[in-house]
Amino acid sequence: MIFEESPIFATAGCLFMVNAKLFVACDLGAESGRIIVGNLSADRIQLNEIHRFSTGPSRVKGTLRWDILKFFDEIKLGLMAVKASNQTPDGVSIDAWGVDYAYASDWEPLLSLPFHYRDSRTDVSYPAMLQKAGRNQIFAETGLQFMQINTLYQLYDDVLNRPKIQEVADHFLPIADYLHYLLSGEAVAELSVVSTTQVYNPSSKDWSEALIGQLGCSPTIFPPVVSSGTLLGKLTGAVEAEVGLSGCRVYATCSHDTGAAVAGVPAEGKNWAFLSSGTWSLLGVEADNPIINDACLSANFTNELGFAGRVRFLKNIMGLWLLQETKRELAANGVTLDYASLDAEAEKTTALASIVYPNHDEFLKPGRMIEKIREFCQQTAQRIPSSPGELARCILESLALSYADIIDQLTGTFGFQIEVLHIVGGGSRSKLLNQFSADATGLSVFAGPVEATALGNLLIQAHTAGELSSIQEIRQVIRNSFPIDRFEPQQHERWAAALERYQEVKSLHR
């Protein structure tokens, strides 16, 4: 499977090493959640996936929601499984996607099922908030990429259409931090995920008073912000009694999965870029300070904060969502292929025959993905992909070209020197996409580890617990523990010509 991170099992003889420290990562993705145990001993870590569950959305009265209490139950089942395996964890932390959130009050733990970011409710609130506050003010306050899924526009929809819920809420909490709240009783939000909301000012390092005023909601619902790698406390008495783990600490590492994934990039030195590849592709570099200027606004880049005071200067790309939806639709029509088979079929087809712009608005929402890809190609006078292999190749090559386009902006517009691209996450398992990425960017590509998000989560816990001293040491542990595949560019001139075509079709569908 390309986008899902497969289990890595430690051998039984390695689970109980002398002086080993054991931490638990709850890694929530758009399709599945996993409970992963990490055993840290000396300068290596071994992983064991101990529980997996579905996280797919629920449709409720015409809306798309997250069944977050089900996630909580599954996390507790995972902790029970850790206990049943006779392991005693030092800590636990949760990471998840950004932008979505839950409302809670002191008298009621959940006031509403959280909306899914692909729900259509921001179709109205996004342009309405842009008109009310203005793009310039929003960007000056937050330095964040404009996407209609951002928390700012979801909150504004609540103001417009569900004001009573904010009247009774004591706080709203991002998904991972809401689950931390249920585990520990601490209602706080962690920096890496807060910085994705487009309501946080990375320069003043606080919620944006100006934008909260424009929203028209009470500032009291915005929780205290804690830094990446904060000890929140221990499991509550009720949770401790239910799962059977005594003294297990709860950490806010990087509640945003990309923040955890970038901490888990096994890079050395400087002049490298990262690509966290999964349902979404997030490509960028680490910077010392936020970059909030006209060039960043024009190019629609984003500044996200995270562990060790680093800034993730990056671009969000729709990612393997296009392939996930295509695979699902093929299966619904009786064509069942796994991701390895789609890769194999794609290799047999004509190179660079059809290109789409992955961030085209039409691709955001579920449904009709194959039809939307074909319509895009027809509208841009390209060959229309028909077979599963042609569809897969179109998607993978288009993603690789989008990566090359962003690398060009990072080097040309912003002056970063990039020599290596590190690809981590589930997408790093696709050798075809890795090779396309090297070909399109002209860079050496280092692929892996698949489990970078869980590794970042686990090793930041270890850092907070005093087991590791720095982000450099975290990355050294990962390099010591996992093999990394290398891909070198081929036929770069052919891909350079294709990049010009990509930029043309992008300009028509921005």
* Domains of the chain, first to last: 12-257 (3.30.420.40), 265-448+469-510 (3.30.420.40)
pLDDT digits (tens, 9 = 90+) for 192-237: 999 999 999 999 999 999 999 999 999 999 999 999 999 999 999 9
Model pTM score: 0.94
Inform me whether the pLDDT recorded for 5 exceeds 60. Answer: no
Q: Is 257 a catalytic residue?
A: yes
Cβ atoms of 342 and 323 closer than 8 Å: yes
Question: What confidence score (pLDDT) does residue 409 get?
Answer: 98
pLDDT number for residue 121: 97
Return the percentage of the chain with pLDDT > 70, whole number: 96
Q: Provide the pLDDT for residue 42.
A: 84
Mean pLDDT, rounded, for 451-464:
98
**CA neighbor of 91 nearest in space, from 421, 484, 465:** 465
Mean pLDDT score across all residues of the chain: 94
Confidence of residue 493 (pLDDT cuts 50, 70, 90): confident
Query: What local confidence, expressed as pLDDT, does residue 441 receive?
Result: 98
User: pLDDT tens across 364-416, in order?
Assistant: 999 999 999 999 999 999 999 999 999 999 999 999 999 999 999 999 999 99
pLDDT in tens, 225-246: 999 999 999 999 999 999 999 9
The mean pLDDT of 255-265, rounded to a whole number, is: 98
Residue 13 has pLDDT above 80, yes or no: no
Query: pLDDT grade, residue 17 (50/70/90)?
Result: very low
pLDDT at 90: 97
Q: Which own/partner pairs from 7-12 qualify as long-range (CB within 8 Å, at least 24 positions apart)?
A: 7/34, 7/48, 7/49, 7/52, 8/46, 8/47, 8/48, 8/49, 8/450, 8/451, 9/47, 9/48, 9/49, 10/39, 10/46, 10/47, 10/48
Q: Is 204 exposed, middle or buried (0-12, 13-18, 19+ CB in 10 A)?
A: exposed
What mean pLDDT do residues 103-112 have?
96
pLDDT of residue 12: 30
Q: What is the pLDDT of residue 7?
A: 36
Q: Is the pLDDT of residue 15 over 50?
A: no
Task: Write down the catalytic residue from 27, 157, 177, 257.
Answer: 257
Q: Which residues pair with 454 in a beta bridge?
A: none
Q: How sure is the predictor about 20, in pLDDT bands with cuts at 50, 70 and 90?
A: confident
pLDDT of residue 19: 57
DSSP for residue 427: G
